[in-house]
Structure 1
Amino acid sequence: MPTPIDPQVIAAIRGAHDILCISHVKPDGDAVGSLLGTGWLLRRLGKDPTLALQDGVPDEHQVLPGAADILSAVQPAYARDVVERAFDLVICLDASSPDRMGTAYNPARHRTAPLLVIDHHITNTRFGDLNWVAPTCAATCQMVAYLADALGVALTGELAECLLTGLVTDTLCFRTSNTDAEVLETAMRLMRGGANLAAITQQTVNRRPFSLIKLWSLILPTIHLEEGVIWATAEQTLFDLAGYPMNDISLSSFLVTADEADMSAVLVEKADEISGAPVVECSFRAKPGFDVAQLAFAFGGGGHPPASGCTLPGTLAEVEPQVIPALQAARRAQAAARATAQRAAGQPLLEAGSPDAEDQDADKQDANGGVI
């Protein structure tokens, strides 16, 4: 197990009955999988969990067992059964900062219950009353598997299917640099428990709608490559032309596969959901040996070293000149530090696009504020 589970976490779960489980806005596979998995885990312990997501479950995850029971903001019962209801415990999964919980967490009503944060993002701000943060885990679903072990719950049936979904989506089907033996061992146990890897992969990472492919064709003419950074930009009008909703466009992982690039960015201008003012959602990717998490964190977002994001106020014309030079400067500094370390170790220098530069994190909605 990468990190021990605080006994207080176990005690909080065992001591609660009415439990609200939530995850981040614009949920990805790990958010939905860990949320549903925790729900199945709690039911096996005799608890009464309520599962909620501000933005609801994406289409590709609607087939997961229990997905239909997740409450979202568009449902009439959401205010009564989530926002205005008191609970014994609130569990927040896969979110690195409090703003990512959205309206599913109501401080005025829910603050009387302890907030337990379970997350694997290195940029997590430890905003809960109890925080179990394990950046060495490839997915929050991996953490929930360890939680099930600690609580004596078998990794079988619906629980296994939901947790393997999060592992598959957050590792791009076990191809990211944080896919270690622990990840594969966890996946093996979930498969032995009945989860179908082939079916999950086909339902998630191996499918995309035609409207998304059409959107890519509209965005790709905007790409630039300078100083080891490749990036593209998009405005709302392109989404309208393609008929694709304003959510994950799954492009930054594709861009970073360019041989000449070490980092990628996709900048999407949209209107803020509350004020209507222009904002730009930024998605970053990095090849092994490079880190985009700290830059995202500096801009108010977060994520992982190979995959992160943020949202900045302003138009593309205002944000692009801020973000791209900062990304290029970070890449230069990291490349220099990497070269120094390689020389000190007597290793050959690895250029951008070397065979060691493998694909990065899953095409997903980052849990920290960017369309990625």
Structure 2
Amino acid sequence: MNLRPPELSTSELDGAATFLRDSDEVMLTSHVNSDGDGVGSCLALAGLLRSLGKTPSIVLQDVPADTYSFLEGFDAIIQAEESATRTFDRVIVLDCPERERIGRAEHLITADAVLLNLDHHLANQRFGDSNIASEAVCSTCELVFHLASHMGLEIDPATAAQLYTGIIFDTGNFRYSLTTPVSMEVAAELVRRGARLDRIADRLYNNATFGSVKLVGRAIESLELHSDGLFATLHLTHQDMQLGDPEAAVNYGLMVGGVEVSALLKEEQPGKFRVSLRSRERVDVSALAHQFGGGGHARAAGCRLEGTADEVKQRLHESVNEALT
């Protein structure tokens, strides 16, 4: 069954396939604070490389959330500092629009390294020697599926689970606008190949810590509306963040009728906030996040800001107002 979107270039897929076949030892990495799509695509592509007789190493700046520990190969993920004495001259960067966003994993890449860049962000800078960066796919995991199919590689149940995880993460369980008919057909094919959709959904959406669930309540308590009800903010203090990281809390802002943009401010260190952004249709939050050195997608993005909570809210408020006019 050929599910490949016509927008995916055959020549680019051929270039990526050649890179994989020519790489014996290769490092795979993704963006800082890697999420379901970054982790899932790294794990899946590592398994596909092993099926070709290659030796892949997944190196990330941050240890991924335990949410993904059920995926095969999770325990083999290396934190960048743990591999500081080793370097790689063949590197695959997944789900990362800018090379700088791989963080400290950069220190393991030799100056003459050859890079393959696989991504689905509109703002991808095509920084690799070979690149596939297409918004025709909903996620990098979907892209890896098409690459594997193009190469005739077997997708076993473990790989299917890894790819399915990234797809439902980036589509919000098929609720976000980047979901396409092909995305859903690919997901169905992965279920046919052994992905347990019930088990994966349970691990992703029903596996939070007690502290994180309690924090959703605190985030809702902090909910404020701005811009005549078009912009919602939620805020968790540094003390709150010691109990967990309720990423999904940002969606509660959009549950309020009329809200176009929701922002969740998480104070990871005193005066240092990680901001999650979500929107309906009027505002491209990836463009908004880019103003502050962040990025993402039109309906889901993020950035980092410093200052007091009120100062950060004000900066976001001004940018949202500008985007709404």
Shift of the alpha carbon at 1:284? 0.9
Post-superposition shift, 1:147? 0.9
Q: TM-score, normalised by structure 2?
A: 0.91
Alignment of 1:115-130 (within 5 A): 115-130=115-130
Question: Per the alignment, in what secondary structure is the counterpart of residue 106 of structure 1?
Answer: helix
Decide which structure has greater helix share.
Answer: 2
Q: Output the CA distance in 2 between the equivalents of 1:129 and 1:316.
A: 41
Name the % identity: 33
SS in 1 for 2:19: helix
Alignment partner of 2:272 out of 259, 264, 279: 279
**Structure 2 counterpart of 1:4:** 9
Q: Which runs of 5+ in 2 are unaligned?
A: none
Pairs within 5 Å for 1:272-311: 278-311=271-304
Which string of whole-angstrom CA distances, capped at 9 and with x for unpartnered residues, describes residues 298-354 of structure 1?
Answer: 221111010011112333233221111211221x23xxxxxxxxxxxxxxxxxxxxx
Q: CA deviation at 1:23?
A: 1.4
Instruction: Determine which of 239, 257, 260 is the counterpart of 1:259.
Output: 257
Counterpart residue number, 1:113: 113
SS in 1 for 2:88: coil
More deviation in 29-38 or 155-164? 155-164
Task: Describe the superposition over 1:62-105 as per-residue Cα deviations: whole angstroms up to 9, x where unpaired.
Answer: 1111111111247xxx22xxx33243410011112223212222
Offset from partner CA, 1:6-44 (integer Å, 9 cap, x none): 132222222111111111221211111101000011111
**1:90 pairs with 2:91:** yes
d(CA) in 1 for partners of 2:130, 2:239? 43
The residue aligned with 1:185 is 185
Whole-Å separation in 2 of the counterparts to 1:184 and 1:299: 33
In 2, Cα distance between equivalents of 1:88 and 1:157: 31
Match of 1:152 in 2: 152
Within-5 A mapping of 1:316-331? 316-330=309-323
Report deviation, 1:289: 4.7
Deviation string, structure 1 residues 37-58 (Cα, Å, up to 9, x no partner) = 0001111111111112221231
**Aligned equivalents of 2:291, 2:215: Cα separation in 1:** 29
Change (3 A) 1:110 1:315: farther
**Contact 2:285-2:299 at 8 Å conserved across structures:** yes
Aligned residues: 316
Structure 1: which 5+ runs fail to align? Answer: 272-276, 334-372
Contact preservation (8 Å) 1:173, 1:205: no
**Counterparts of 1:164 and 1:127, CA distance in 2:** 27
Aligned to 2:236, which of 227, 234, 237? Answer: 234
Separation (CA, whole Å) in 2 of partners of 1:32 and 1:163: 9
Structure with greater proportional strand content: 2
Describe the superposition over 1:101-150 as per-residue Cα deviations: whole angstroms up to 9, x where unpaired. 1222226x423221211111222222323221112211110000011012
Q: 2:60 aligns with which of 40, 49, 53?
A: 53
Separation in 2, partners of 1:62, 1:33: 11
Separation in structure 2 between the aligned mates of residue 223 and residue 102 of structure 1, nearest angstrom = 32
Once the two structures are superposed, the pairs formed by residues 340-355 of structure 1 within 5 Å of their partners are none
- TM-align CA RMSD: 1.9
1:297 and 1:162 map into 2 onto residues whose CA distance is: 29
Write out per-residue CA displacement over residues 138-164 of structure 1, whole angstroms, 9 at most, x where no aligned residue: 111000001101221022221111101
Q: Structure 1: how far apart are the matches of 2:107 and 2:92?
A: 13
Aligned to 2:161: 161
Q: Extract structure 1 runs of 4+ deviating beyond 4 A.
A: none
**1:361 counterpart residue number:** none
Cα contact 1:177–1:288 (8 A) shared by 2: no
